[in-house]
Amino acid sequence: MAAPRASLRLVAPVWNGGTSGIRGLSRAVDPEGSPRKGRTLLRFLADRFYDVEAVREYLLQKQVLKVLQKNRFQDKEWMRPNGRGLSGELWKLREVPVEAVDASGCAINYQGLDNLLALKELQSLSLQCCPHVDDWCLSRLHQLANSLRELSLAGCPRISERGLACLHHLQNLRRLDISDLPAVSNPGLTQILVEEMLPNCEVLGADWAQGLKLGPEEQTRDTASSPIPA
């Protein structure tokens, strides 16, 4: 290869215009975040009238399908080098293998990962705070097992310990960040189990003592060690 290996960092900002719409969408689908009063009136009406119920179901289906369409459109952008934004640079550098991808905050989903998995020389992948990355997506990452050295999954709301179990294929992984995963039930224990599963990897995440409570002797020692000056 004539050109030197430049580590390409492809960042998400081009797609940020689309993501806020999708984040708003997930809020609409999730009932906890919406205003209470409007929701109870609609619910009341939907329970009593078939027409209101049918209209609400239709709107829900439309919303659910919209997320899928937006993701597909975005993925085509990623693949085609003659899209908008970074088009010129991408065209010149298309022979250069991609080494690092930063997809933080990007609304990438299961189908969208097809594009990342095609990058066979990928060494560093950051999927921080991606709202649609879940356990199913993690099960696809085994295709990057030969090259991936660094993976960050911090802050993804849908990843649980069941998805982390399929990271054992990534034996070349040296750095794994699994901090701040709200769906993991027992972060301390999960950290220990993941460390056992990937012995060569440095796992950043929850402190293993996070879920532990202080024993009775330690508690009294604590209060004794900080005396209030009399």
- The tokens describing 101, both together, are 């991808």
Residue number, 6 or 28, with CB nearest to another protein: 28
Residues in 124-163 that interact with another protein by CB under 8 A: 135-136, 138-140, 142, 160-163
Contact status: 174 vs another protein (CB under 8 A): no
For the chain, how far is it from start to end, CA to CA, in angstroms?
A: 75
Interface pick for another protein out of 28, 29, 79, 204 (rule CB under 8 A) = 29
Closest CA to 173 of 118, 113, 125: 125
Q: How far is the CB of 37 from another protein (least distance, A)?
A: 15
Binding residue for another protein, selected from 30, 51, 95, 217, defined by CB under 8 A: 30
Contact between 65 and another protein per CB under 8 A = yes
Contact partners, residue 129, CB within 8 Å, separation at least 6: 104, 105, 154, 155, 156
Q: Which of 61, 146, 210, 220 binds another protein (CB under 8 A)?
A: 61
Question: Position 33: which residue type?
Answer: G
Single out the residue of 10, 18, 45, 56 in contact with another protein (rule: CB under 8 A).
56
If one asks whether residue 185 binds another protein (CB under 8 A), the answer comes out as: yes
Contact 87, 102 (CB under 8 A): no
Q: Which two tokens stand for residue 50?
A: 């078939």
Instruction: Name which of 99 and 195 has its Cβ closer to another protein.
Output: 195
- Residue 144 CA to residue 206 CA, distance in Å, equals 25
CB of 203 to another protein, least distance (A): 12
Taking CB under 8 A as the rule, does residue 117 contact another protein?
no
Is the sign of the CA dihedral 216, 181, 160, 139 positive or negative? negative
Residue among 12 and 138 whose Cβ is closer to another protein: 138
Using rule CB under 8 A, residue 194 touches another protein:
yes
Q: Is 12 in the site for another protein (CB under 8 A)?
A: no
Token pair for residue 32? 């906890």
- What element of type H or E holds 218? helix 216-225
Instruction: Verify binding: residue 113, another protein, rule CB under 8 A.
Output: no
**Cβ contact 104:130 at 8 Å:** yes
Q: What are the backbone dihedrals phi and psi of residue 151, each rounded to the nearest 5 degrees, phi first?
A: -140, 135
Binding site for another protein (CB under 8 A): 29-31, 39, 43, 46, 53-54, 56-57, 60-61, 64-65, 68, 110, 135-136, 138-140, 142, 160-166, 168-169, 185-186, 189-190, 193-194, 196-197
